[in-house]
Amino acid sequence: MKIVVVGGGPAGLYFSILMKQARPDAQIQLYERNRADDTFGWGVVFSDETLGGFQEADPATFEAITQAFRYWSDIHTYVNGELVTSTGHGFCGMSRKRLLQIFQERCTELGVEMQFETEIPNLSAFADADLIVAADGINSFIRETHADVFKPHLDWRRCKFAWFGTDLELSAFTFIFKDTGFGLFQVHAYPFDDGLSTFIVECREEVWLAAGLDRMDEEESARWCENLFAEWLDGHKLLTNRSLWRTFPTVSNECWHHDNIVIIGDAAHTAHFSIGSGTKLAMEDAMALVDAFRREGVSDVEKALTSYQEARYVDSIKIQKAAQTSLVWFENSARYLAQDPITFQFNLMTRSKRITYDNLELRDPELVAKTRRRFMELNGDTPGPDGEPRVPMFSPFRLREMEMDNRVVVSPMCQYSAEDGLVGDWHLVHLGSRAIGGAGLVITEMTDVSPEGRITPSCAGLWNDEHTAAWKRIVDFCHTTSQARIGVQLAHAGRKGSVFHPWTGDDQPLTEGAWTCVAPSALPFQPDWPVPKEMDRADMDKVLADFVSATGRAEQAGFDLIELHMAHGYLLSSFLSPLSNQRRDDYGDSLEKRMRFPLEVFEAVRAAWPQDKPLAVRISATDWLRDEGMTAADSVVVARALRDRGCDLIDVSTAGNDPRSQPVYGRMYQVPFAERIKYEVEMPVMAVGAILGADHVNTILAAGRADLCALARPHLADPYLTLHAAQRYDWTLQSLPGPYLAGRNS
């Protein structure tokens, strides 16, 4: 078998080592355009967890690598003039040059034919190769040559960064956040060899331009950064080695192979350096590719490459996602400078969501204890009965005169179990048990203000006296048996109405008893759905009056809070998005005009709702269609307009307005949208979406990324989620019902 490897970085070299061992008879030729000792960059860093697989894959290189390691477990963060240390992390680092030397030596030993200073301009010389491994890095020419098959996506990010070295030997992973007249500069630095550390300087592109770094050469910018970080460098120098300012591209490809060509390492996917995974990913690709040949044999190369992608793709996406979350955190880090250093450090440690509250408590209980104390102080909270600060989820929260026992919210969930809008025993048990379950606030399902405002014929409503009485029974039950507050989500389904419910008709339009839906524009939600009626002023007045009337009934029923549903493509949400609102009158076109009707409804409801009771709004912060439709920036404008009109809380969801939306799901995936509103609009926000339990709730709250957390599906699985968390964290809930007290410590 003849194998050609283009690129002598970690991916190409490590693949060659492993493949030569798996197939000693294979001829492996590796081409690298640089000289053998021409390594750019400084140290590479690995975490504890990374190393396991490498030992098994090739014990010889593993031993040589680990001998070259320096180990450390602390993370020092310098922010706002203070140093905060977190411990228990377990990292190791080594010189990138040494790593490549080890790989090159091993390749020589095994008989890999390496040719340095050989630039490969195209693949025409390798027609006889059985396999071509494109390990040619971030700017892979092979990937670009076959872009039609690989379908690469390059997302050029907002920061500039340069890899420097320094002759200062640091004792820990070190982050430095230095605010300047130009904006924030941040450093990611770590030791890797005797008397040497990596020192990456990063800032937003506009900050870099303002500082004039675009006009400096490599040496000048090194001296400029040396000066900026002089107090930390302590007289030491910043060293250069092609330390040019770069923009990070997040590279991804839909497909990783074409005929007998496969892309691996940075050519296939990049991961931001802030989680130190580029080299690790490259080496793991190499292992997985060789494993695929072990599994499938070498007679059918395409089959092995398909098997490689199948086995590796999801894992690599997971790491890329964590890296991307971390990257976005650093792009926006200036917003966290307002946080106190302890909260900032907690936030930094949990930024990629791979480390959470519980996990950090195992690594560094002291930092978590300090964070809890700080959370208590910042929220004007009091210690628990044991004199210790409460776990953040059990911190009380207040909106107007509504006081919540804790910060867990049962997110609205349609039950499709009402008759003519009338809720019954199902709703009593469903909502009642979640109130008893300890949540601070329970929000009802989408409750419609008129019959034609329902999604399905079995949706809940609040448009007649019978409805009011039925809801009052549930509200009274929650109030008398628990400390939970109960809110009603008032809504109108708009063009998404008149459908079957999910488990009988798969959300498709009704075939019998259908009604005409109204919408901002005569555009159906799905192309084959009935066209809705474009609302005229009379329709708007009717909807407005229905919302006001439902508000009066909500007050009569005794609800503590109203949440207006302006999310998920229902009527008010469909006014906000330009994809569903294509009006050219005063209620469409610009965002300002698209907001007009939802704001009219908000103002009318606010006026009808008692002043001492809070009014929240749920929005879809993005349509998840890149720059089309509602964007995160638009949601900031909407939230500000609502806040200015007396909105107390924004419940930040996403999507639902366009079937083409492509949400990027993942744990706590909507938190960044909530956080942006919290910091840019400076108002309370509620995060929702794949917040999978108490650990996530505490992670989000302690990092100061949201004020409340709403959980939907986890509450379907466990109505007593908060009570269980109270047991887990050894906390006595005020809301523990008397009849359940005896079970507290069982």
Residue 654 near residue 620 (C-beta atoms within 8 A):
yes
Hey, which residues does 687 pair with through a beta bridge?
A: 652, 709
- Among positions 241-280, residues that touch ligand FAD (CB under 6 A) are 242, 265-267, 276, 278-279
CB of 456 to ligand FAD, least distance (A): 50
Residue 560 near residue 485 (C-beta atoms within 8 A):
yes
Q: Interacting stretch for ligand FAD, rule CB under 6 A, among 130-138, 370-378, 496-504, 707-715?
A: 130-138
Nearer to ligand FMN, 61 or 356 (CB): 356
CB of 672 to ligand FMN, least distance (A): 15
Hey, which residues does 442 pair with through a beta bridge?
A: 410, 486
Give the span between the Cα atoms of 567 and 494, in whole angstroms.
Answer: 11
* Strand-strand pairing, 561-566 and 485-491: parallel
CB of 715 to ligand FMN, least distance (A): 8
Nearer to ligand FAD, 241 or 417 (CB): 241
CB of 168 to ligand FAD, least distance (A): 16
Q: Which does 413 bind (CB under 5 to 8 A by kind): ligand FAD, ligand FMN, none?
A: ligand FMN
CB of 417 to ligand FMN, least distance (A): 11
Identity of the amino acid at 654: T
Q: Which does 567 bind (CB under 5 to 8 A by kind): ligand FMN, ligand FAD, none?
A: ligand FMN
**What phi-psi label fits residue 534: left (phi over 0), alpha (psi between -120 and 50 degrees) or beta?**
beta
Q: Between 173 and 212, how does the x/- string for binding to ligand FAD read (CB under 6 A)?
A: -------------------------x--------------
CB of 515 to ligand FMN, least distance (A): 19
Kindly state the tokens that stand for 522: 């005569």
Residues with catalytic annotation? 570
Kindly state the tokens that stand for 107: 């390749």
Note whether 341 binds ligand FAD by CB under 6 A.
no
Query: CA triplet 337, 339, 344: central angle to 5 degrees?
Result: 85
- Among positions 133-152, residues that touch ligand FAD (CB under 6 A) are 135-138, 141
Nearer to ligand FMN, 374 or 696 (CB): 696
Nearer to ligand FMN, 200 or 413 (CB): 413
Give the span between the Cα atoms of 65 and 63, in whole angstroms.
Answer: 5
Nearer to ligand FMN, 70 or 678 (CB): 678
Hey, which residues does 461 pair with through a beta bridge?
A: 448
**What phi-psi label fits residue 160: left (phi over 0), alpha (psi between -120 and 50 degrees) or beta?**
beta
CB of 139 to ligand FAD, least distance (A): 7
Q: Which does 32 bind (CB under 5 to 8 A by kind): ligand FMN, ligand FAD, none?
A: ligand FAD
Nearer to ligand FMN, 411 or 635 (CB): 411
| Residue 128 DSSP SS3 | coil
CB of 166 to ligand FAD, least distance (A): 12
Give the span between the Cα atoms of 179 and 201, in whole angstroms.
Answer: 13
Burial 421-444 (b: 16+ CB within 10 A, else e): bebeeebeebbbebbbbbbbbbbb
Note whether 41 binds ligand FAD by CB under 6 A.
yes
Q: Which does 677 bind (CB under 5 to 8 A by kind): ligand FAD, ligand FMN, none?
A: none
Task: Candidates 11, 133, 305, 554: give the one binding ligand FAD (CB under 6 A).
Answer: 11
Note whether 9 binds ligand FAD by CB under 6 A.
yes
Note whether 43 binds ligand FAD by CB under 6 A.
yes
How does DSSP assign 609-656, residue by residue?
S-TTS-EEEEEE---SBTTBSS-HHHHHHHHHHHHHTT--EEEEE---
Kindly state the tokens that stand for 472: 């009052």
Hey, which residues does 246 pair with through a beta bridge?
A: 161
Residue 42 near residue 98 (C-beta atoms within 8 A):
no
What phi and psi values does residue 353 have, to the nearest 5 degrees?
Answer: 75, 0
Q: Which does 618 bind (CB under 5 to 8 A by kind): ligand FAD, ligand FMN, none?
A: ligand FMN
Q: Which does 43 bind (CB under 5 to 8 A by kind): ligand FMN, ligand FAD, none?
A: ligand FAD
Helices 278-296 and 301-331, axial angle in degrees (round to 10): 160
Q: Is 325 exposed, middle or buried (0-12, 13-18, 19+ CB in 10 A)?
A: buried
Residues near ligand FMN, by CB under 6 A: 411-414, 445-446, 489, 565, 567-568, 618, 653, 688-691, 711-714
Task: Candidates 3, 10, 30, 197: give the one binding ligand FAD (CB under 6 A).
Answer: 10
CB of 651 to ligand FMN, least distance (A): 8
Nearer to ligand FAD, 11 or 368 (CB): 11
CB of 681 to ligand FMN, least distance (A): 20
Q: How many residues bind to ligand FAD according to rule CB under 6 A?
A: 35
Nearer to ligand FMN, 392 or 689 (CB): 689
Q: Measuring CA to CA, how many Å separate 363 from each of 275, 349, 666, 722?
A: 17, 11, 24, 24
Separation of first and last alpha carbons in the chain:
64
Give the span between the Cα atoms of 262 and 28, in whole angstroms.
Answer: 15
Residue 167 near residue 239 (C-beta atoms within 8 A):
yes
Note whether 351 binds ligand FAD by CB under 6 A.
no
Look at the chain and count its residues: 746
Nearer to ligand FAD, 32 or 405 (CB): 32
Task: Candidates 54, 78, 163, 575: give the one binding ligand FAD (CB under 6 A).
Answer: 163
Note whether 515 binds ligand FAD by CB under 6 A.
no
Nearer to ligand FAD, 96 or 594 (CB): 96
Q: Which does 257 bind (CB under 5 to 8 A by kind): ligand FAD, ligand FMN, none?
A: none
- Among positions 582-641, residues that touch ligand FAD (CB under 6 A) are none
Q: Which does 688 bind (CB under 5 to 8 A by kind): ligand FAD, ligand FMN, none?
A: ligand FMN
Q: Measuring CA to CA, how many Å separate 114 from each of 8, 130, 743?
A: 8, 18, 69
Q: Which residue has the tokens 């490897």?
A: 5
What phi and psi values does residue 460 have, to the nearest 5 degrees?
Answer: -80, 150
Residues that bind ligand FAD (CB under 6 A): 6-12, 31-34, 40-45, 96, 119-120, 135-138, 141, 163, 198, 242, 265-267, 276, 278-279, 282
